[in-house]
Amino acid sequence: MLGKLLKYELKATGRTFMPIYAALLIAAAVTKLISALTAGGSEVPEFISAIVYIMILMGMFVMTFVVMIQRFHKNLLSDEGYLMFTLPVEPWQHIVSKLLISVLWNLGSLVAAFLSIVILTFDEIANRALMLDLFAVIAEFLTIFGPTGSLVVLEIFLAGIATTVFGILLIYASIALGHLSNRHRTMASLGAFLGLTAFAQILFACLTLIPNVRVLQHYMDTLQESLQTSIALFHYVMWFTIGFFTLLSAGYFLITNHILKKRLNLE
């Protein structure tokens, strides 16, 4: 049943995001074309097309955030919730389906933004000298990190996913907690968001004060020491970050699931 929920969620949100992605890439291509055609002439058309591109780019990320909130609140905590919770599906499956699709569209927006930048800077990217510089940077990266270079890439990717999941579940938990209030649910959700964020910051500060866990400050203090020590501490910091946000995400997931399962109030 989770697969069907994912398919439904993907189809419902795809109708919003795919046209936005297409518009962004078209705007980038038009901006690039106008730039080439008006080289040495009037800059007004290029300026207008660039403004349109930037507005679509910003709108894409805003819509990613808005749709993430809207799909959770509208589908599960508004009148649509009566229908959704009549399905033979556990509340955690609803949360997981919306979480996975939200992560997917967050990644999709980053990919679309990257592709649009590639279109705008195609001439520079195709430049042989720039490619040589890029290869030089990659070679320097491999020289510094050696065999652990692939691990570094994996750590950065996992940290990005962990922080994205944390942000989404933080919003879900805030909305669910705010929905426990009979009045002023929007303000209650905002208050819950601020409270959960403060809790995360305090917990992080407390953990970094524990002996042998003050990794961030220790890492900064030892940057001038041996390269191997710095690399080892970098890995330590990354896995600490991944673990911290993963544990918090699990906690916020449990809060959301408990409210939807035991304390749901759609009135």
Tell me if 155 sits within 8 A of 238, measured CB to CB. Answer: yes
Q: Express each pLDDT in 134-147 by its tens digit.
A: 767 777 766 767 67
Cα–Cα distance for residue pair 169/242, rounded to 1 Å: 15
Using CB atoms within 10 Å of the CB of residue 234, give its burial: 0 to 12 exposed, 13 to 18 middle, 19+ buried: middle
At position 223, the amino acid (one-letter code) is L
pLDDT above 90 covers a percentage of the chain that reads: 42
The reported pLDDT for the residue numbered 48 is 87
Low-confidence winner among 144-148, 180-184, 224-228 (lowest mean pLDDT): 224-228
Residue 106's φ and ψ, nearest 5 degrees, are -65, -45
Cα–Cα distance for residue pair 111/25, rounded to 1 Å: 11
And the tokens for 244? 């911290």
Rounded to two decimals, the pTM is 0.83
Cα–Cα distance for residue pair 143/132, rounded to 1 Å: 16
The reported pLDDT for the residue numbered 227 is 53
Identify the band that residue 109 occupies on the pLDDT scale cut at 50, 70 and 90: very high
Average pLDDT over residues 65-89: 83
Give the count of alpha carbons within 13 A of 4, CB side only. 5
How many other CB atoms are found less than 10 A from the CB of residue 200? Answer: 17
The reported pLDDT for the residue numbered 229 is 59
- Whether 256 shows a pLDDT value over 60: the answer reads yes
